[in-house]
A and B are shown apart, each in its own frame.
Chain A
Amino acid sequence: MVLYKASLHSNFEQVDIKVKEALVKIEDSIPSMDGTTLFKFNFMMRELLNNAVEHGNRMDYEKSVFIQINYHPPYIEFLFEDEGRGIDPEVISCERIGEHDERNSEIEKAYFSIEDNATLETLKFAKAIDFEGDIAVRHRGFETIKQLNFSLMIEGRKLKCTYDLSKEV
């Protein structure tokens, strides 16, 4: 069952609007949903939409981000897609350490590797020099999503984030 489907222009105001809309749809469709789980969805959606807006679409207002939320009990599935380049194919199975890359300057201070299956489980940021820097922020966000018991799968410009509601107490 599709709970919510929308597209948004690439700015943070749009992210805020769409996340609030999505949360209302989820609450209306699944009245038994508890507040903490909704909070997790709220945080996760903001993180992944912000990422798509800022890093996928490079804050280009004319580029869209697409979100769809599917419910197949006990799983709730969040699908995100931006209009960016996707994860650089050269980066897959490639390690870069402190390398300045004109094409992808946000990796300038980070070491990361992405395995061929491109799941965020294997997306490792081994080092983020700047505690407050862009890479550290995104690392913290992704790591937190994992710790909130979401599973993540990336395929190019698409990201699927799944949550098993049966695991909630």
Chain B
Amino acid sequence: MDQLKLIIKEGLTANNVSAYKNQFEHILKEADGYTGMVLDLCNTENIDSVGVTFVIGLYKRMKGLEKSFKVIGASNDVQMLFRLMKLDAFFEMSE
């Protein structure tokens, strides 16, 4: 089954999120036949709540489309932050 993979190359931060949203919408329009989304945060150490909200938005969008969503490549620190914000209750994440 094909998964849509998004790799965040810059920070998950307020200064980048607008561009990410535009790119994401463009990708969604082009994508077809995928069963879910994998968000790869292997290059992400800079993060703020605007970035976290963007991730939540991806999750909710996939949920609305009845597709799966998970986060991979998250460092221990990023996972710790997501757990504090109780996001682990909503989607799977791993290093």
Asked whether any CB of chain A lies closer than 8 Å to the CB of B42, the reply is no
Given contacts A36-B77, A137-B53, contact A47 B85 (CB under 8 A): no
Q: Could you tell me which residues of chain A, from 21 to 54, have a CB within 8 Å of some CB in chain B?
A: 35-36, 39, 42-43, 46-47, 50, 54
Min distance, Cβ B89 to any Cβ of chain A, angstroms: 12
Q: Is the beta-carbon distance between A141 and B15 smaller than 8 angstroms?
A: no
Q: Is the beta-carbon distance between B49 and A35 smaller than 8 angstroms?
A: no
Q: Is the beta-carbon distance between A39 and B77 smaller than 8 angstroms?
A: yes
Q: Is the beta-carbon distance between A13 and B45 smaller than 8 angstroms?
A: no
Asked whether any CB of chain A lies closer than 8 Å to the CB of B50, the reply is yes
Q: Is the beta-carbon distance between A144 and B49 smaller than 8 angstroms?
A: yes
Given contacts A39-B45, A47-B48, A50-B48, contact A12 B81 (CB under 8 A): no
Interface residues on chain B, size class: 20 to 34
**A50: nearest chain-B partner, CB-CB:** B14
Q: Which residues of chain B have C-beta atoms less than 8 A from A138's C-beta?
A: 49
Asked whether any CB of chain A lies closer than 8 Å to the CB of B84, the reply is yes
Q: Which residues of chain A have C-beta atoms less than 8 A from B46's C-beta?
A: 16, 19-20, 42, 46
Tell which of B15, B56, B84 touches A148, judged by Cβ atoms closer than 8 Å.
Answer: B84
Q: Could you tell me the dominant secondary structure of chain A's interface residues?
A: helix
Asked whether any CB of chain B lies closer than 8 Å to the CB of A168, the reply is no
Asked whether any CB of chain A lies closer than 8 Å to the CB of B52, the reply is yes
Min distance, Cβ A158 to any Cβ of chain B, angstroms: 21
- A140 to B81: give the CA distance in the assembly, Å: 11
Given contacts A35-B77, A43-B47, A144-B81, contact A12 B13 (CB under 8 A): yes
25 example contacts (A-B, Cβ-Cβ < 8 A) are as follows: A12-B15, A12-B50, A13-B15, A16-B11, A16-B13, A16-B46, A35-B77, A39-B77, A39-B81, A43-B48, A46-B13, A46-B14, A46-B47, A46-B48, A47-B48, A50-B48, A54-B14, A132-B53, A132-B60, A137-B52, A137-B53, A140-B49, A141-B48, A144-B49, A148-B84
